[in-house]
Amino acid sequence: MAAVTNLTPVHFFSHGSSMMLGEESDSATYWGKCGDKALAKGIKHVVMMGAHWATLGNEIEVASNSLPGKSPVAYVHPSKYVPYKLNPDIHMTTRCVELLKKNGLRAKLNDNFAMESPPDAAMLECRQEFEGAMTKNPGPELRRAVTMLMKLSKYRDARGTDDHFMAAMFVAGLCGDFEDRGTVAVMGAEDWELRNMCNSQYTFGNWGSGNLRITGKAQGLGAFGGA
């Protein structure tokens, strides 16, 4: 296979409560840096695949509301988000559906879519297992390592629901091919919230490194997984 260059990195972002939208944190600072770097590199489109998604039937729905509304955000002052203007990329939603269908998947557009005590020992262990899986296993080993996490009973119990685990699977699938061996994964930031809630931020690969193959993604397309 010919070497692929000028590819974007892949980010794994995780958040805790809604307070992270209104308060300063290392994670929020890291998100901003990743966004600024993407803009500086001339990024044109961003595809976000989040943990919380539900559809009727065996079909993937791509959000395509040209005028999306905003719901009240708990514990965050309205001045932090009300003036913010949403900018949906409607053209890209059609492209996403076309790519999914081309690869045999059913898809359609959907336009209506601080710490007073230390974390428990089990949660610290889960956090360490997750970091090891994400940063020490390039290529196909990443898929196996991330999947193996769900065999740890305490790790699974640490998730509110199983859908919280899906974002990690998205990233492992994207960065887990044989051609991805040698890709460097780093933990860019981490915050602990509500005692046992660990919010970790990871990035796989570098801008234009050429050592990360993104199947079905064109150059200039960023991929983000979030939990």
pLDDT on residue 31: 92
Compute the distance between CA of residue 61 and CA of residue 163 in angstroms, rounded to an integer.
16
Which residues are CB-neighbours of 102 under 8 A, at least 6 positions away?
A: 216
Average pLDDT, the chain: 82
| Continuous H helices in the chain | 26-40, 90-102, 121-135, 140-149, 153-157, 166-174
Beginning with the edge strand found earlier in the chain, give each strand of the sheet holding 221-226 in spatial order. 45-50, 221-226, 10-13, 197-204, 185-193
% residues pLDDT > 70 (the chain)? 85
How many other CB atoms are found less than 10 A from the CB of residue 67? Answer: 7
Write the DSSP symbol of residue 119. P
pLDDT at 222 over 60: no
How many other CB atoms are found less than 10 A from the CB of residue 206? Answer: 15
Nearest partner of 93 among 76, 79, 113, 71, judged by Cα = 113
Residue 30's pLDDT band (cuts 50, 70, 90): very high
pLDDT on residue 224: 42
Residue 196 Rama label (left phi>0; alpha psi -120 to 50; beta): alpha
Nearest partner of 10 among 214, 164, 199, 210, judged by Cα = 214
pLDDT at 63 over 80: yes
- The pLDDT tens digits for 105-159 are 999 998 875 556 788 888 888 899 999 999 999 999 999 999 998 888 788 777 7
Main-chain dihedrals φ then ψ at residue 155, nearest 5 degrees: -65, -45
pLDDT at 50 over 60: yes
pLDDT on residue 113: 56
Highest mean pLDDT pick, 42-56, 66-80, 85-99: 85-99
Mean pLDDT, to the nearest integer, of 58-81?
85
Cβ contact 134:170 at 8 Å: no
